Structure 1
Amino acid sequence: MSGGIGPVEPGEGTAGRESHEGPDIGRPAPAAARWARARYARHRRAVLVLGGLTCAAVLAAGAVRLYADRPRPVPYVPPAPSQVVSLSYLEPVEPPPADAAFAFTVRVRNASAGPVAVEGIDQPSRALRVMIRPPLPVTVGAGEAREVVVRILATDCVHVARNSGLPFLEVTLSNGFRKERHSYIPGDRYARDLSVALTRACPEDRDMTDTPPS
């Protein structure tokens, strides 16, 4: 009789042990485990949402602070009218009006970015009176020029200064932010024309009086 080795039979108590080894695949998880996983998922989503909201709130607060701390824009203040307005003497009006000793045209030019109003044109002598055509105020637009006619009336020939060197005109200007009175010197040609006109309107012999002999 020959002997051999046959298949190894499972020993006592081994079949049951082997049947329980390895993962339990395909078997549904218990209800408690599913509930725990669902609860964890909800908690995780809530944490993520809360974190996102917190981050957004921090960013918004930072943006608000940056906006509040930003440098305030400096309000625009235009330059003084006298710094942007020029006055030029053009020529006498010939013949002068009957009631005027002298009449002439001036050009007012505005170099600013906003309008400037010419509210007054005068001269310092009490013996003379000034009239303007067109009547003031006259608004000169930004970058524009306007011409006005100045008429000078001699009201007191006795005290008229026929040769006053470099006479000037006192001009009142306003730009809506500031009003100022500025003196403009029209130049030598104006001084010469004014002297000739006043001498013609108020001859020197008019001021002479006969002194009775003593």
Structure 2
Amino acid sequence: MSGIGPIEPGEGTHAWDTHPAEPPAVTPAAPGTPPPRLRRLLADRRRAALAALLVVGLLTLCALLYATRPQEREPAVSRPPFPAQVVDVTYLGEHSVPPGTRPHTFAFEVLLSVDSGPPVTVTRVSQPYAGASLTSVPRAPFRTEAGSARTIVITMHVAECGTVPENAGLPFIDVTLRNTRAIQQQSFILGPRYAHDLSRALEVACSNESP
């Protein structure tokens, strides 16, 4: 009689494991170490803070470079010159007075020129001697353009011979000038020729004290 024994497992057959698999061992974190999620959050915040610092540094550098850049100077506004800087008065010589002119009177010519700038107006012509008076042709005020000149005839009348010098050393005339920049009174010394002619004219004018 043939019997049937227990079936032996075939090749490659494994018996069922009756014990559940144990979970992998987890190494405990060191005390005080934050969990991984918190560590990632802290790392992200550090990167964001460094990026913000970099941006602030770049902005500060740009602002510093802008503040220290070479400044372009605005073109200076050209102001007109003072009238006394551009006016010249030159003595030309004696001028004859018309017949019948009152005694103690003589005349001479000067040339007034304006070099540059706006037109210059002569508002007054005077001389330093209290005992004499003068008039001019053309009469003040008169204007002279830049780059031009005009002849002025100055007629002087001596009212009191005792108040004028017999020998003028450095005689001058005072001219009040005006342009768009300023009003100035300028004294013009007309040179030794004018001094000689003036001294002689005063001597002739005062040689006869009759009115």
TM-score range, shorter chain: 0.5 to 0.7
> SS of 1:126's equivalent?
coil
- Report the counterpart of residue 125 of structure 1 in structure 2: 129
CA contact 2:124–2:175 (8 Å) conserved in 1: yes
Q: Within 2, Cα distance between the matches of 1:73 and 1:179?
A: 27
Equivalence for 1:107: 111
State the SS of the aligned residue for 1:177: coil
Residues 81 and 181 in structure 2, CA contact (< 8 A), matched pair in contact too: no
**Aligned residue number for residue 162 of structure 2:** 158
- Of residues 184, 187, 203, the one that matches 1:183 is 187
Please tell me the residue identity of whatever aligns with 2:195: A
SS in 2 for 1:201: helix
Q: Is the 8 A contact 1:96 1:102 kept in 2?
A: no
Indicate whether 1:88 and 2:95 are aligned: no
Larger Rg belongs to: 2
Identity of aligned residues (%): 38
The answer to whether the Cα contact below 8 Å between 2:132 and 2:157 also exists between their aligned partners in 1 is yes
Counting only pairs closer than 5 Å after superposition, residues 8-27 of structure 1 correspond to structure 2 as none
Aligned partner of residue 196 in structure 2, secondary structure: helix
Contact kept, 8 Å, 1:119 with 1:172, in 2: the verdict is: yes
Name the counterpart of 1:7: none
Q: What is the CA–CA distance in structure 2 between the aligned matches of 1:118 and 1:95, rounded to whole Å?
A: 23
Deviation at 1:121, TM superposition (A): 1.1
Root-mean-square deviation (Å): 2.0
The offset of 1:73, in angstroms, is 3.7
Instruction: Give the distance between the partners of 1:196 and 1:164, measured in 2 at CA.
Output: 9
Q: Is the 8 A contact 1:81 1:116 kept in 2?
A: yes
Letter in 2 for 1:122: S
Return the offset for 1:118. Answer: 1.1
Q: Give a deviation string over 1:156-192, Cα, whole Å, max 9, x none.
A: 1121212120100111111122010011001111111
Find the residue that maps to 1:113 and give its secondary structure. Answer: coil
* Deviation (angstroms), 1:70: 5.9
Provide the C-alpha distance between the structure 1 equivalents of 2:97 and 2:201, rounded to a whole number of angstroms. 11
Q: Match of 1:146, as an amino acid?
A: R
- Given the two structures, how large is their TM-score scaled by the length of structure 2? 0.60
Cα shift readout 1:23-48 (whole Å, capped 9, x = no counterpart): xxxxxxxxxxxxxxxxxxxxxxxxxx
Contact between 2:112 and 2:150, CA under 8 Å: does it hold in 1?
yes
Q: Deviations over 1:132-171 (max 9, x none)?
A: 1111111110110011110111011121212120100111
Aligned twin of 2:172: 168
Is the partner of 1:162 in helix, strand or coil? coil
1:135 corresponds to 2:139:
yes
Name which of 122, 147, 166 aligns with 2:151.
Answer: 147
Q: Answer yes or no: is the 8 Å Cα contact 1:171–1:181 preserved in 2.
A: yes
**73, 76, 80: which is aligned to 1:74?**
76
Structure 2: runs of 5+ lacking an equivalent? 1-70
Alignment length, in residue pairs? 138
| Structure 1 residue runs without a partner (length 5+) | 1-68, 207-214
